[in-house]
Structure 1
Amino acid sequence: MIYTCTMNPAIDLFTEFEQFAPFIVNRSRQEDYQANGKAINISFILKAMGIESTATGFLGGFTGDFIEQELAKKSIAVDFIHVEGITRINTFIRSGEIEYKAVNKGPEISETAQNKLLEKLQTLTEEDMLFVSGSLPKGIKDEVFIDIAKLSQQKGFQLIWDISSESLINCLPYHPFLIKPNDEELAHLLGVPALKTDKELIGGARELMDRGAGKVLVSLGEKGALYVDENESLFTTAPIGKVVNTACAGDTMLAVFVGKLIQGENLEEALICATAAGSSTAFSAGLTDLSDLQKLKEQIKLRRVVM
């Protein structure tokens, strides 16, 4: 079974304005409310691919109810810990070519609720896969990532990380199946200002593998993607289009990449599809419905780098 864990979910409010000015009433010309959270997005995309998953994490208040209802509409199984407080609402404002992002902290999570989540994850087995993505809400320390990493090693389930925490480095000795940083996060993890060349990016990914990561998928934004494992180093270019929403592109890329592998596709096809899907979300107001995947795939070039 596939599980997705979002510890700090959100309702994302996407709004579009003719112009957005201070100290006046700005009236939107378009708005859209979406159940969100990085791993929740993965559940939505997997479902669109015909792959079942169970979404877990923490939810609270009327906003938490909305998220569960939206997942239920797609027949996605849920197993959340319900907490006091209100699950956050994030706002993304588009005005012309400018995008403003207002991201809130979320409710404080009690130690009791944290323990309940870990107890749920203790039931996973070697037949399961767990995606852990996104930020932590108030009350949870980064050490929870180490706890989950240890559980993965003890129970044998495949663990996939998409987190920006520096604690990811300390999770690598427990041998996660896959990690997905972007290029900036990869550089930060390695303590360098930037990784610009093919050699630097591949070398950075391989350094994380030397520390314990099984495979590394790096999102490169408008430049495409990089995948590295013990045998392969593959780059893709990105298709051209008007970027509308950058919030969920990486989640989409990760979900489609793993989903295609689950469905039996080879690495090259999985990476091309993942790059196309991530771009499709970037070109959309919210998550892609994957309907333009084939068209976008035609623009993508894949190259193998031997080092």
Structure 2
Amino acid sequence: MIVTCTMNPAIDLFCEFKNFDPFVVNRSYYEEYQANGKAINISLMLKKMGIDSIATGFLGGFSGEYIETTLKEKGIEIAFIHNKGITRINTFIHADKLEYKAVNRGPKISPEAQQELLKFIGKLDVKDSLFVSGSLPRNVDESMLIKIAQLSQKKGFSLILDISSKTLLACLPYAPELIKPSDEELAEFLGVNSDYLSNENNVFEGAQKLLNMGAQHVIISRGSKGAVYLDNKHTIISSAPKGEVINTACAGDTMLATFVGSRIKGKGVSQSLAFAIAAASSTAFTSGLSNLDDVPELMKQIHLKSIK
């Protein structure tokens, strides 16, 4: 069983206007609503690969109902913890070649809801995998992430983490299966300037430090530069395909889902990495999540180099 956990999901509302002026009524000519959240995106991408998962996290109010309905319609099983308050709605406005982003905080999560989520996660075992991605909602302390990591070690399920908080470092002694920091996040974890990681050798060294601290596998996502993959047997550098970038917001989620999905389907590390980078690029080149149709062509542009 695969479970994806989004603790601070949202509805993303995308609007387009000819212009956007203050103190007047601005009427859109296009709008689109999307159920969103980093681990929700992972469930959606896994489904596109024919892989089932259960989506959990915290939801509340009419917006939470919309997210549940959307996922059910897409054939994704849900096990969300219901909490008082309204799941946040983020608004992205495009007008006059400019973009305005209004991202809300979301509701406060009760201690009871937090305990219910931990109880659900505590039922997972060695046959299961758990993705935890994205930011934490209000009232949820970062110690929640450590508690989940401790449960993964105690219960034996695989834990895949994609979090920007430095609390990730405190989770590594519990041996998460896979982590996927960006190069910017890696620089912050290491306490170095992002320019330091312009040198690939420094990226390798930084990723190796995360392995030494307990991570089993590490993918460093590097945007248009591609990615670096490390485990105890492999060090692989990958380029990225070229294209017009429209939206990078979900590219990392796509990369993580399709890499793990490819491994589940029995693909090797190199092939899984190439597929994941092509899929992530496909998402970046569109307004939503990739449908994977162009991935085979994009893979032809990708060059892999194995260091060991």
TM-score range, shorter chain: over 0.9
Determine if the alignment matches structure 1 residue 29 to structure 2 residue 12: no
Aligned with 1:274 (options 264, 273, 276): 276
- Provide the C-alpha distance between the structure 2 equivalents of 1:223 and 1:96, rounded to a whole number of angstroms: 30
Q: CA deviation digits over 1:114-160, x for unaligned, max 9?
A: 00000001100000000000000001000000100000000000000
Task: Report the counterpart of residue 293 of structure 1 in structure 2.
Answer: 295
Determine if the alignment matches structure 1 residue 137 to structure 2 residue 137: yes
Q: Give the residue type in structure 2 aligned to 1:299.
A: Q
Q: Secondary structure of 2:289's partner?
A: coil
1:22: how far off? Answer: 4.7
- Normalising by structure 2, we get a TM-score of 0.95
Task: Report the counterpart of residue 241 of structure 1 in structure 2.
Answer: 243
- Normalising by structure 1, we get a TM-score of 0.96
Determine if the alignment matches structure 1 residue 61 to structure 2 residue 61: yes
Task: Report the counterpart of residue 208 of structure 2 in structure 1.
Answer: 206
Q: Structure 1 99/297 Cα, relative in aligned 2: closer, same or farther at 3 Å? A: farther
Aligned with 1:263 (options 252, 265, 285): 265
Q: Please list every run of 5 or more consecutive structure 2 residues that lacks an aligned counterpart in the other structure.
A: none
Aligned residues between the structures: 306
- Provide the C-alpha distance between the structure 2 equivalents of 1:154 and 1:256, rounded to a whole number of angstroms: 27
Q: Give the residue type in structure 2 aligned to 1:259.
A: G
Q: CA deviation digits over 1:203-234, x for unaligned, max 9?
A: 11100111111111111111111111112111
Task: Report the counterpart of residue 175 of structure 1 in structure 2.
Answer: 175
1:102: how far off? Answer: 2.3
Contact persistence 1:54–1:79 (CA under 8 A): yes
Q: CA deviation digits over 1:161-220, x for unaligned, max 9?
A: 001111110000000000011110011011111211110111111001111111111111
1:291: how far off? Answer: 1.4
- Provide the C-alpha distance between the structure 2 equivalents of 1:98 and 1:297, rounded to a whole number of angstroms: 32
Determine if the alignment matches structure 1 residue 221 to structure 2 residue 208: no
Q: Give the residue type in structure 2 aligned to 1:78.
A: I
Contact persistence 1:150–1:174 (CA under 8 A): yes
Determine if the alignment matches structure 1 residue 189 to structure 2 residue 189: yes
Contact persistence 1:163–1:181 (CA under 8 A): yes
Q: CA deviation digits over 1:238-287, x for unaligned, max 9?
A: 22222221111100010000000000011111111111111111111111
- Provide the C-alpha distance between the structure 2 equivalents of 1:200 and 1:18, rounded to a whole number of angstroms: 45
Q: Structure 1 295/139 Cα, relative in aligned 2: closer, same or farther at 3 Å? A: same
- Provide the C-alpha distance between the structure 2 equivalents of 1:121 and 1:180, rounded to a whole number of angstroms: 21
Q: Structure 1 171/240 Cα, relative in aligned 2: closer, same or farther at 3 Å? A: same
- Identity value in percent: 57
Contact persistence 1:209–1:215 (CA under 8 A): yes
- Provide the C-alpha distance between the structure 1 equivalents of 2:199 and 2:125, rounded to a whole number of angstroms: 39
Q: Secondary structure of 2:104's partner?
A: coil
1:96: how far off? Answer: 6.2
More off after superposition, 263-272 vs 10-19: 10-19
Contact persistence 1:14–1:285 (CA under 8 A): no
More off after superposition, 64-73 vs 101-110: 101-110
Q: Please list every run of 5 or more consecutive structure 1 residues that lacks an aligned counterpart in the other structure.
A: none
